[in-house]
């Protein structure tokens, strides 16, 4: 945070005198404007969302105490920053995925066990590549006939930005390939070396330009320049480690493919090694970690990938990550600082989350001023099962605390130094009323979290629900992010108080005297862009709608499961309206979906029973054109749309692989047999399910029959 050394920044709002408040409002206006530019225009955020929110909240608190001091250019009145002109969008032929993360050795042993289990390999060892995880940004390079035709950033994995002109300025990216396939998309990481980063910052500083916080930000900021000539002056490098669409296989193994990428003309990482089994993987991890400090560029872990590409294909993908790879991140970085205050944030599902406000401290190159404190037990020195943590030491305001960061996650507090505890420090009393709406906040049995019972009458829950609604995996409306939603929520002329309001915004604006385009921070073009971006999302796939509702326990993959099971909004809505927790056929159908447990099911069903929530959902749906869930897999698959149950022992593949394969072919996989089951695949030892299938007259085949049916025999 750019707090500088302004002393006002340290004073609680309630203690500021008028002069201090005026100075503080000026400082906050500058800091927020700077953050807006960095975020929206330069694409290089300098502070976290939480820090930004804290600046805005402090600004608003001071304005409400000293309304007459509110500035002409008050950040409270500005909606978003200038939107960067931006790059053209590119849809990736093959999605650019991310990796699951692991933070300790045991998780790597588990990963290997899961791979072998999925493939049904028993004790047979699997070979993996282990390679450094480069801390840069990924890029996909498309070569046709051996010539570079397009370079695209990852974006959301499906759609990235066209940065071809910029990529052509990077020395490590060949314009033409030696002996190339007709088509190949080469993927890898753009990064900046430590020495180039230091030089660049020195040059920038001398020229009075912007300096970068770390090499990754510098690489991202340099690649995403609208003027490719600026990129040319930035010393970017590229390691190739993966590929997307291709006209012919690059090799039969991961190692072979990397070798092929090298002969095509790319830099590949020299620390890439083959390892058989977890022990060898962990040895290579240790070797890479040892060299980390002297590599001359940032790495943040080691990536393991199953070497045999045929096995990679069988393992396939979860929703956003491959089953055949994992990133083993280096341990968290640590630092000590003072805990200045504990604030309570109220989340979308009403959870009261304690946040530590810290004297800003650098942890692994990033300035940290907030950390999560999880819940009241964590503060008190207990874990979720009541066992003591930190030797039972509680956390108090004024304490000297140890902060750590692991990966991109929110910083956490690991320890407290009791020898530095001030005499005045008192036990923290966790609130039992919601600090936002005053409703009672209760802890249900077995829940570590205290929740506000205000539901959608609680403004904090309503705003957080809206933020979730517009998030990337939900409605993802261009120009309507968390910040804009927050501002519209508090706008009396043109409010957005619930999701349905987004879709009536343009109409209400048209009938309004104070039009959006005339407001500060907005113009004719940005207002029109917003309305058309909203219009674009009126037609939307079912799974996104379900996810966007923000129902507790219903994440992206559960939403996809529900959407593909029910197929259409009408069917889903009808079933949820009729369902009762724990009883009846609708409940049975819901909980019979493989991957839907009782807790998730109860959460959906009760949401549909809550009148206010339900009415809000209905108002939203009335605004939308919800697309039926696409039946996954080939239309001509003989099992597409069928409900299949696997039972007994499968001999040629694991249950997980059979399920993944069936789903890829468009089938629904259920956990138990019912009248809705189309097909039962029964291996040896299939007891009650096979019996039930017999009673119900459901078609039953064995594993070989299944493989023949799907053409895998
Ligand atoms: S493989 C399907 N290998 O890490 C898997 N990724 O956290 C594709 N990364 O988005 C990625 N070094 O930007 C792979 N040696 C490496 C990598 C690597 C860095 C980045 C990449 C990816 C992210 C996932």
DSSP labels for 653-666? S-HHHHHHHHHHTT
Structure tokens at 497: 């108080």
Q: Each residue of 135-185: pLDDT tens digit?
A: 999 999 999 999 999 999 998 888 889 999 999 999 999 999 989 999 999
Average pLDDT over residues 625-639: 74
Q: 573 Cβ partners below 8 Å, 6+ apart?
A: 608, 621
User: What confidence tier does 393 reach under pLDDT thresholds 50, 70, 90?
Assistant: very high
| C-beta of 218 in contact with ligand 1 (< 6 A) | no
User: Cα–Cα distance between 567 and 132 in angstroms, integer?
Assistant: 42
Answer for the pair 245, 150: CB distance below 8 angstroms, yes or no. no
Give the distance from CA 398 to its chain's centroid: 33
Higher pLDDT, 640 or 433: 433
Nearest Cα residue to atom 10 of ligand 1: 98
Residue 269 CA, closest ligand 1 atom number: 15
Kindly report the backbone phi and psi dihedral angles of residue 208, in degrees, each rounded to the nearest multiple of 5, phi listed first: 75, 20
Give the distance from CA 428 to its chain's centroid: 32
Higher pLDDT, 206 or 356: 356
Residue 415 alpha carbon to ligand 1 centre in Å: 32
pLDDT reported for residue 594: 80
Predicted confidence (pLDDT) at residue 226 exceeds the cutoff of 70 = yes
| C-beta of 189 in contact with ligand 1 (< 6 A) | yes
Answer for the pair 43, 81: CB distance below 8 angstroms, yes or no. no
Predicted confidence (pLDDT) at residue 675 exceeds the cutoff of 80 = yes
pLDDT reported for residue 108: 98
User: Cα–Cα distance between 357 and 352 in angstroms, integer?
Assistant: 15
Nearest Cα residue to atom 15 of ligand 1: 133
| C-beta of 223 in contact with ligand 1 (< 6 A) | no
| C-beta of 250 in contact with ligand 1 (< 6 A) | no
Which residues are bridge partners to 130 per DSSP? 273, 304
User: Cα–Cα distance between 242 and 131 in angstroms, integer?
Assistant: 12
- How many Cβ atoms from other residues are within 10 Å of residue 215's Cβ? 23
pLDDT reported for residue 339: 97
Kindly report the backbone phi and psi dihedral angles of residue 96, in degrees, each rounded to the nearest multiple of 5, phi listed first: -95, 115
User: Cα–Cα distance between 38 and 81 in angstroms, integer?
Assistant: 9
Domains and CATH numbers, the chain: 8-78 (1.10.287.610), 101-329 (3.30.470.30), 338-442 (2.40.50.140), 454-537 (1.10.150.20), 541-627 (1.10.150.20), 643-710 (3.40.50.10190)
Listed residue (2, 6, 16, 19) closest to 62, CA to CA? 16
Higher pLDDT, 534 or 594: 534
Q: Which range, of 261-275, 363-377, 474-488, averages the lowest pLDDT?
A: 363-377
Structure tokens at 207: 């020229």
Listed residue (428, 429, 400, 426) closest to 415, CA to CA? 400
pLDDT reported for residue 635: 56
Kindly report the backbone phi and psi dihedral angles of residue 49, in degrees, each rounded to the nearest multiple of 5, phi listed first: -60, -40
Say whether 574 is catalytic: no
Q: Each residue of 557-574: pLDDT tens digit?
A: 899 989 989 999 999 999
Nearest Cα residue to atom 21 of ligand 1: 138
pLDDT reported for residue 50: 67
H or E segment and range at residue 572:
helix 569-578
Answer for the pair 338, 402: CB distance below 8 angstroms, yes or no. no
- How many Cβ atoms from other residues are within 10 Å of residue 23's Cβ? 15
pLDDT reported for residue 408: 57
Most confident of 42-51, 57-66, 358-367, 544-553: 544-553
Residue recorded with tokens 């450094």 = 132
Predicted confidence (pLDDT) at residue 286 exceeds the cutoff of 80 = yes
User: What confidence tier does 324 reach under pLDDT thresholds 50, 70, 90?
Assistant: very high
Nearest Cα residue to atom 1 of ligand 1: 242
What are the distances in angstroms from CA 122 to CA 204, 652, 653?
A: 57, 12, 11
Q: What percent of the chain has pLDDT over 70?
A: 95
Give the distance from CA 378 to its chain's centroid: 24
Average pLDDT over residues 406-429: 88
Residue 703 alpha carbon to ligand 1 centre in Å: 36
User: Cα–Cα distance between 681 and 703 in angstroms, integer?
Assistant: 6
Predicted confidence (pLDDT) at residue 284 exceeds the cutoff of 90 = yes
Nearest Cα residue to atom 17 of ligand 1: 133
Residue recorded with tokens 């590119």 = 90
Average pLDDT over residues 472-492: 93
Structure tokens at 267: 């830099």
Q: 333 Cβ partners below 8 Å, 6+ apart?
A: 363, 364, 404, 405
Query: End-to-end distance of the chain based on CA atoms, in angstroms?
Result: 60
Most confident of 221-230, 537-546, 676-685: 537-546
Q: Each residue of 509-556: pLDDT tens digit?
A: 999 888 999 888 889 999 999 999 999 999 999 999 999 999 999 998
User: What confidence tier does 4 reach under pLDDT thresholds 50, 70, 90?
Assistant: very low
Predicted confidence (pLDDT) at residue 433 exceeds the cutoff of 80 = yes
Burial class (CB in 10 A: 0-12, 13-18, 19+), 581: middle
User: What confidence tier does 3 reach under pLDDT thresholds 50, 70, 90?
Assistant: very low
| C-beta of 130 in contact with ligand 1 (< 6 A) | no
Average pLDDT over residues 260-265: 97
| C-beta of 134 in contact with ligand 1 (< 6 A) | yes
Q: Each residue of 52-66: pLDDT tens digit?
A: 777 887 888 888 888
Angle at 553 between CA 549 and CA 558, to 5 degrees: 75
For the chain, the average pLDDT equals 90
pTM metric for this prediction: 0.62
**Helices in 440-491 by DSSP H: which ranges?**
459-469, 482-489
- How many Cβ atoms from other residues are within 10 Å of residue 505's Cβ? 19
């Amino acid at each position: 945070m750019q707090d500088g050394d302004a002393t006002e920044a340290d004073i609680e709002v309630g203690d500021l005198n008028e002069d201090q408040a005026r100075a503080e409002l000026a400082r906050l206006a500058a800091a927020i404007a700077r953050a807006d530019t960095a975020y929206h225009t330069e694409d290089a955020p300098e502070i976290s969302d939480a820090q930004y929110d804290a600046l805005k909240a402090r600004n608003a608190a001071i304005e409400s105490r000293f309304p007459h001091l509110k500035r002409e250019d008050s950040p409270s009145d500005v909606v978003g920053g200038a939107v960067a002109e931006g790059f053209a969008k590119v849809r990736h032929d093959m999605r650019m995925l991310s990796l699951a993360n692991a933070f300790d050795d045991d998780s790597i042993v588990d990963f290997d066990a899961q791979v072998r289990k999925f493939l049904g390999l028993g004790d047979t060892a699997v070979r993996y590549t282990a390679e450094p995880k480069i801390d840069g940004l990924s890029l996909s390079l498309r070569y046709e006939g051996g010539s570079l035709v397009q370079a695209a950033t990852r974006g959301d994995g499906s759609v990235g930005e066209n940065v071809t002109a910029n990529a052509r300025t990077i020395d490590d990216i060949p314009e033409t390939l030696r002996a190339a396939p007709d088509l190949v998309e080469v993927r890898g990481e753009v990064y900046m070396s430590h020495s180039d980063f230091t030089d660049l910052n020195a040059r920038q500083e001398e020229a009075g330009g912007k300096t970068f916080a770390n090499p990754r930000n510098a690489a991202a900021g340099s690649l995403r320049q609208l003027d490719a000539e600026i990129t040319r002056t930035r010393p970017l490098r590229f390691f190739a480690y993966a590929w997307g669409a291709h006209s012919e296989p690059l090799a039969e193994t991961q190692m072979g493919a990397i070798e092929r990428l090298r002969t095509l003309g790319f830099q590949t990482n020299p620390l890439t090694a083959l390892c058989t089994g977890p022990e060898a993987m962990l040895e290579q991890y240790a070797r890479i970690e040892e060299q980390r400090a002297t590599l001359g560029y940032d790495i943040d872990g080691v990536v393991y990938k199953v070497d045999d590409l045929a096995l990679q294909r069988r393992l396939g993908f979860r929703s956003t990550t491959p089953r055949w790879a994992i990133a083993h991140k280096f341990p968290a970085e640590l630092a000590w600082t003072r805990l200045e205050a504990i604030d309570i944030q109220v989340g979308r599902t009403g959870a009261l989350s304690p946040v530590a406000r810290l004297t800003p401290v650098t942890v692994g190159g990033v300035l940290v001023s907030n950390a999560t404190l999880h819940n009241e037990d964590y503060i008190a020195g207990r874990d979720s099962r009541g066992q003591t943590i930190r030797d039972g030491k509680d956390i108090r305001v004024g304490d000297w605390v140890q902060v750590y960061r692991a990966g991109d996650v929110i910083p956490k507090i690991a320890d407290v130094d009791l020898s530095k505890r001030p005499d005045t420090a008192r036990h923290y009393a966790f609130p039992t009323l919601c600090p936002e709406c005053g409703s009672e906040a209760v802890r249900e049995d077995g829940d570590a979290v205290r929740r506000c019972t205000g539901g959608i009458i609680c403004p904090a829950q309503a705003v957080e629900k809206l933020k979730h609604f517009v998030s990337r995996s939900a409605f993802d409306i261009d120009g309507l992010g968390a910040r804009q939603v927050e501002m519209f929520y508090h706008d009396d002329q043109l409010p957005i108080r619930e999701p349905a309001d987004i879709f009536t915004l343009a109409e209400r604006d048209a009938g309004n005297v104070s039009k959006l385009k005339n407001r500060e921070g907005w113009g004719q073009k940005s207002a029109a862009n917003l309305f058309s971006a909203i219009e674009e999302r009126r037609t939307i796939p079912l799974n996104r709608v379900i996810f966007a509702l923000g129902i507790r326990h219903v994440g992206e993959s559960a939403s996809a499961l529900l959407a593909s099971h029910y197929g259409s909004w009408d069917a889903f809505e009808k079933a949820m309206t009729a369902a009762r927790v724990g009883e009846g056929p609708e409940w049975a159908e819901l909980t019979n979906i493989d991957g839907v447990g009782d807790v998730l099911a109860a959460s959906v069903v009760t949401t549909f029973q809550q009148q206010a929530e339900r009415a809000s959902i209905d108002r939203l749906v009335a605004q939308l054109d919800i697309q039926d869930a696409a039946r996954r897999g080939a239309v001509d698959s003989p099992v597409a749309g069928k409900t299949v149950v696997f039972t007994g022992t499968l001999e040629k593949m694991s249950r997980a692989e059979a399920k993944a394969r069936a789903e890829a072919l468009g089938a629904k996989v259920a956990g138990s047999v019912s009248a809705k089951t189309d097909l039962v695949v029964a291996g040896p030892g299939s007891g009650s399910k096979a019996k039930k299938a017999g009673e119900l007259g459901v078609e039953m085949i064995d594993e070989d029959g299944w493989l023949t049916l799907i053409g895998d025999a």
